[in-house]
A and B are shown apart, each in its own frame.
Chain A
Amino acid sequence: MVRFENVGMRYGLGPEILRDISFTLEPGSFHLLNGPSGAGKTSLLKLIYLAERPSRGAISMFGREIAATPREELPSLRRRIGVVFQDFRLLDHLTVFENVSLPRRVMGEFESGYRAEVEELLSWVGLGNRLNAKPPTLSGGEKQRVAIARAVVAKPELLLADEPTGNVDPEIGGRIMRLFIELNRLGTSVLIATHDQRIMERLPATRIFQLIDGRVTTAQSAKDLVLAEAMRA
């Protein structure tokens, strides 16, 4: 589904943020992306959701070589990806309902076709009574849930989340993780960038990408990761 081969990335003429990144995300897989702040997790996610271009190397998404894909065909690839941005990136002048339904709207669907699904999804994330609220009136946790609902509303094949449980209490965090696991069971590949230890402990058998100094290493589980870090120390 996603394949990176020796990918490097730099912003402008600055130093290389990511170096020799190679990995594969298989359909239906569940991965965590771990690493300290500033390690390049967000930059790596940007490459995957096609917001940035690599400086070198090759990226393949859904069987298409990105470098050889015409720009006008990229929106159809982006629609197969759901993204939970770290800073939410909600549109303040739109209601919760309108923010969440935006991906369906840009696909050209009419409101009557997705209204019930969006309402159900918002009820599921505990925002069933805030459909008409605007983002500035929401708490950090509520904004995060709106951002998650927007990312999953179009049933993406790949879900990317940048610190999705950073601003929510443990109970809501647990519900969000259960939503991701449920989506994964239904066939969606999930990649979560996090340094939340609770998530890694809750998903003991999950493959973890460790990003340090712009390079990726792979661990088979949170336990392996802890062992590897202990050995490095």
Chain B
Amino acid sequence: MKLPSQSGLMPADSASGTTLHTIVAVMSFLACLTLGAVLTLSRLASEWTDGLSGSVTVQLLPSSQISPDDQMSEALRLVRQWPGIFAARAISREEAGKLLEPWLGEGNVLEDLPVPQLIEVTLTPGRPVELEGLGHALADGVPGALLDDHQRWNQELASFAASSEAVGWAVLLLIALATLAIVIFATQAGLQAHREIVEVVHMIGARDVFIATEFQSHFLWLGLRGGVIGLMLAAATLLGSGYLWDVREAPVGAQLLPQFISAPYHYAWLLFVPAVIGLIAMSTARMTVLRVLGRMP
């Protein structure tokens, strides 16, 4: 008679195993979503502050002392000559209109409003620029010119991004602690259901390490499988949200909102979640079995 290969000491499928799978999958899903949100916030914080600190804006308010065209050409000339300036570009009225469209709607609103002309100034990366001097030079040389170095925005955005990121990490920590507690509890419950196996194998002469190894392998795979199911569900959710955020589908203004996880390396970080859950389940099983065995003669 042909014999199948040897089974593990733990039953492959059992009621406790199914429950543990479900619990682990749900916790993995929540942990992956939270980690995704934290990574997105972290990326946004970095992008916002990098983007703002690498550029300044010159506003040209309407002035009776100079024509708009002369005001623009004089300001561009002065800025482009200033040491440390990489590029300076006049923002056309159409572009300005598009920037304001989400708030003011479509139409020729700019013609009815005294909207200032704008110059986008890009700073040379890594080179210090004397922005205060540039501000004074513009104010003295070009009537109505005003330099906005984004300092106030930059600080507020950096502060907002940092606090959002901190809240995200705190939520992730809470989810991680809850996952840890639930996985430990579910693993212990699963082991309790199979205490008979531990006792029998112990009585026929198995060493503690042998029994612990059998149980920890079982729970490692159980944790990994549940964790991967949660990861796949979370990845599907994140990709789905990314699709909804796509500019073709999103409503006006949605372009300004962050897209959930845009870099492939973010998904690589999510792979750690099932691995960590598997390791938690494994070490819990090992410690619990060794503790149960330690109470036996």
Contacts and interface: CB of A to CB of B under 8 A. Distances in A.
Contact of B205 (A76, A97, A129): A76
A131 interface: yes
B200 A93 contact: no
Which 9 A-B pairs give the minimum distances between C-beta atoms?
A: A79-B205, A93-B11, A106-B206, A78-B205, A75-B207, A103-B204, A75-B205, A89-B200, A53-B297
A167 B208 CA distance: 33
A107 B201 CA distance: 11
Interface residues of B, number: 24
Contact of B6 (A91, A103, A105, A129): A105
Contacts of A132: 1, 3-4
A95 interface: yes
Contacts of A115: 3
Given A51-B297, A107-B205, A154-B205, 16 more contacts: A52-B297, A53-B297, A75-B205, A79-B204, A89-B203, A91-B200, A93-B10, A94-B7, A97-B3, A98-B7, A103-B205, A106-B207, A129-B1, A131-B3, A132-B3, A150-B204
Interface-centre pick from B1, B11, B204 (highest chain A CB count, 10 A): B204
Interface-centre pick from A53, A75, A107, A129 (highest chain B CB count, 10 A): A75
A83 interface: yes
A150 B296 CA distance: 22
A185 B257 CA distance: 86
A41 to B, nearest CB: 17
Nearest to A153: B204
Interface in A125-167: 129, 131-132, 150, 154
B297 A71 contact: yes
B205 A98 contact: no
B9 interface: yes
B232 interface: no
Interface-centre pick from B11, B201, B205, B206 (highest chain A CB count, 10 A): B205
B7 A72 contact: no
Given A52-B297, A53-B297, A89-B196, A75 B1 contact: no
B276 interface: no
Given A93-B7, A93-B11, A132-B1, A50 B206 contact: no
A95 B206 contact: no
Nearest to B293: A71
B197 A98 contact: no
Interface of A: 49-53, 71-72, 74-76, 78-79, 81, 83, 89, 91-95, 97-98, 102-103, 105-107, 111, 115, 129, 131-132, 150, 154
A144 to B, nearest CB: 15
A17 to B, nearest CB: 16
Contacts of B201: 102, 106
15 contacts: A52-B297, A53-B297, A72-B208, A75-B206, A78-B203, A79-B204, A89-B199, A91-B197, A93-B7, A93-B12, A95-B7, A98-B6, A105-B6, A111-B6, A131-B3
B204 A78 contact: yes
A83 B204 contact: yes
B210 interface: yes
Contacts of B10: 93
B196 A95 contact: no
Interface string B203-229: 111111010000000000000000000
A52 B202 CA distance: 12
A103 B203 CA distance: 10
B184 to A, nearest CB: 24
A225 to B, nearest CB: 30
A102 B7 contact: no
Interface in B98-119: none
Nearest to A99: B200
